[in-house]
Structures are given as structure tokens and as C-alpha cells.
A and B are shown apart, each in its own frame.
Chain A
Amino acid sequence: NAGVTQTPKFQVLKTGQSMTLQCAQDMNHEYMSWYRQDPGMGLRLIHYSVGAGITDQGEVPNGYNVSRSTTEDFPLRLLSAAPSQTSVYFCASSRKWSGGTQETQYFGPGTRLLVL
């Protein structure tokens, strides 16, 4: 298994540009999520999905869109990039929490984004 994969590894954008960060997993996990990591702030949840066709907002969703058309893929879209979105973005996946069992979240290698 490749686990959780993310592309690109690094991207530079100009303010106002749009782009899509790709995330895929081959573990048949129902739950997928996007976090951003900023120095001194840990990881903050952007959006998440509990299954194909179902997405919802996390702690910091503004400026980002997601969709989940398949179990495997969970792309994150920046519609109009801003310097405040300069960050490292991590995708994670796990089995859906089912109350009484706790599934480990697996993380991708990250995408480093710089918005000028």
C-alpha cells in the first residue's frame, strides 16, 4: 500500500491564483481530512469527509473548498490564494470512528505552499 499520498510537494502561488492540492489513499478509509500546520500553532482542521459525497467544515475552512467524489480522493481547492494561506498542508485518513473503537489517522507527507 502507498498509504496517503499528496501532490505537489511544494508550490509557489501569486495572490489571487487558484490551485488544487491532491490527496489520495489506498486503504479504503472512509474518513479523510485536511489540516494546515503553522509554526507554534500545531495542526488545525480545515475540512473533513466521512465518506464519498459527504464533506463538512473544520476549524479554519475559509478560503478552501473540498469535494469527495470517490473514497480514494479528497482534493483541497484554494479559490483565490492569499498570503495568509502560506502553510504546510497535510491530508489524513482513517476508518470512520464507530464509537468504542478508535482508528489511527494516517498522514500524507505534506504540501508546502508559499503565497506571494
Chain B
Amino acid sequence: AQSVAQPEDQVNVAEGNPLTVKCTYSVSGNPYLFWYVQYPNRGLQFLLKYITGDNLVKGSYGFEAEFNKSQTSFHLKKPSALVSDSALYFCAVRDFNSNSGYALNFGKGTSLLVTP
């Protein structure tokens, strides 16, 4: 089965510093990977995705993610964190099991707290 893991429940970073939210994947074949963000009491918003091509993917709100096949990772990064980036971040992978209709399998989420 296709799965992702987010090893950190929470990440704390000071405003202006670079941030990284980690994600590793376990798939057979080529992975289709996603990052979503959830602000308090809101739905999930799409940030970026990796399907194929360049290993560095740029997304919304200044976020980017680096696909690393040898390390089976897809870490989310931002050069300079903002307080408004504080939210819950989910990594997800497309499930190629046809019994799921090709749904997304989500990690457990990482809470990002950016302090002033």
C-alpha cells in the first residue's frame, strides 16, 4: 500500500527563519505526492504536488518541496517563516489501489508554530 509518514507531531520555528516539515513515503512504483495545509477550523488547502519532473516543486504561499528518491522523502520547506504560516500540514500520497478509487493516503499531520 502507498503510505506516507510525518515523523514530527510539531515543529517550532522563529519568524524569519527557514522551516522544514518532514515527510517520507513508502510506495511501489512512482509516487504522486502532495502537501496540504489546514488552518484552524478550516478545510484542507492544496499547497503543491510532485508527479514527475524537477525534484524541487514550488507551490503556494512561498512553499516548496524537494523530492528525494534515494531517501524516499518529500520535505516541505520555506526560506523565511511567517507567523501566519502556523497551521497543520499534511503530506499525502495517491493510493493506486483501485479499491479506494485512487484516493489520497494522508500522514498524521505536523503542527507548525511560528513565533514572533
Contact A109 B43 (CB under 8 A): yes
Q: CA A108 – CA B42 in complex, angstroms?
A: 8
Query: How many residues of B are counted as interface, with CB atoms below 8 angstroms from the partner's CB atoms?
Result: 24
Q: How distant is A8 from chain B, measured CB to nearest CB, in Å?
A: 14
The total of Cβ contacts below 8 Å across the A-B interface reads 60
Quick one: which of B28-45 are within 8 Å of A by CB?
Answer: 32, 34, 36, 41-45
Partner of A33, one of B34, B94, B101: B101
Q: CA A43 – CA B105 in complex, angstroms?
A: 8
User: B67-94, CB under 8 A of A: which get 1 and which 0?
Assistant: 0000000000000000000000010001
Chain B residues with CB below 8 A from A58, complex form = 100-101, 103
Query: How many residues of A are counted as interface, with CB atoms below 8 angstroms from the partner's CB atoms?
Result: 27
Q: CA A49 – CA B102 in complex, angstroms?
A: 11
Is A64's beta carbon under 8 Å from chain B? no
Asked, given contacts A43-B90, A102-B51, whether A56 binds B101 with beta carbons under 8 Å apart, the answer is: yes
Q: How distant is A107 from chain B, measured CB to nearest CB, in Å?
A: 4
Q: CA A48 – CA B101 in complex, angstroms?
A: 7
Asked, given contacts A42-B90, A42-B106, A42-B107, whether A102 binds B101 with beta carbons under 8 Å apart, the answer is: no
| Chain B, residue nearest A43 (CB) | B106
Chain B residues with CB below 8 A from A49, complex form = 101
- Which residues of A approach B to under 8 Å, CB–CB? 4, 31, 33, 35, 40-45, 48-50, 56, 58-59, 90, 92, 97, 102, 104-110
- Which residues of B approach A to under 8 Å, CB–CB? 9, 32, 34, 36, 41-46, 49, 51, 90, 94, 99-104, 106-109
